[in-house]
Amino acid sequence: SKKSSDRKVNNKICDFLSHNGFQEILTNSIVNSQNYTQDNIVKMMNSLTVELDAMRPDMCRSGLEVIDHNINRGQKNLLMYEIGNIYSTSGVGQYHQSSVLAIWCTGALAPKQWMMNEEKVNIYWLKGVLQNLWIHLGIKKFTIAQDDNTLTYNVGRDVIAKIQILGKKELSPI
């Protein structure tokens, strides 16, 4: 069945990322609509609180909140991922739910040691992780496009992943 197949793929992704030093996180699908500017956000009719009144349209903000929480407590070297649902609407009664993988990286891969400098996480390291993940999943033919701070992976016309630098740093040409 499709659910069984999706679960197997999700398990392969989780196993791969966990074996490569990433920690799985679980964040809330219910968010504050005031934090989003999208027109297609799914608002809840009977929200539990005023602050939690919509279904998340993307996973970026929830991961950044986890990063912020950890950095404020002295944990700055973070490799995290989550497979979760995002939601959108294209009109009254027309709701869409998609399962996505989100990955967040910040800080260093390895701390400075006696004979080794600190190695910082960067977009090119993450590019290598994703390309190894594609191989692990059996995806052999993909293209990569670069635009400002984003690398986009495509299989045919379908976008299968985006890597984006958040902040002011720009990418060197790949």
Strands (E), the chain: 23-24, 30-31, 42-43, 54-55, 78-91, 94-106, 108-110, 119-120, 143-147, 150-155, 158-164
pLDDT above 70 for 174: no
Contact indicator for 109, 78 with CB cutoff of 8 Å: no
Mean pLDDT of 70-79: 94
Name beta bridge partners: 154: 143, 159
Count of other CB atoms within 10 angstroms of residue 59: 21
pLDDT above 80 for 89: yes
Contact indicator for 95, 88 with CB cutoff of 8 Å: yes
H or E element, residue 24: strand 23-24
**Mean pLDDT over the full length of the chain:** 88
Q: For 4-24, how does the pLDDT look when each residue is reduced to its tens digit (9 = 90+)? A: 888 999 999 999 999 999 999
**CA torsion, ordered 89, 157, 99, 165, to nearest 10 deg:** -100
pTM: 0.86
DSSP 34: G
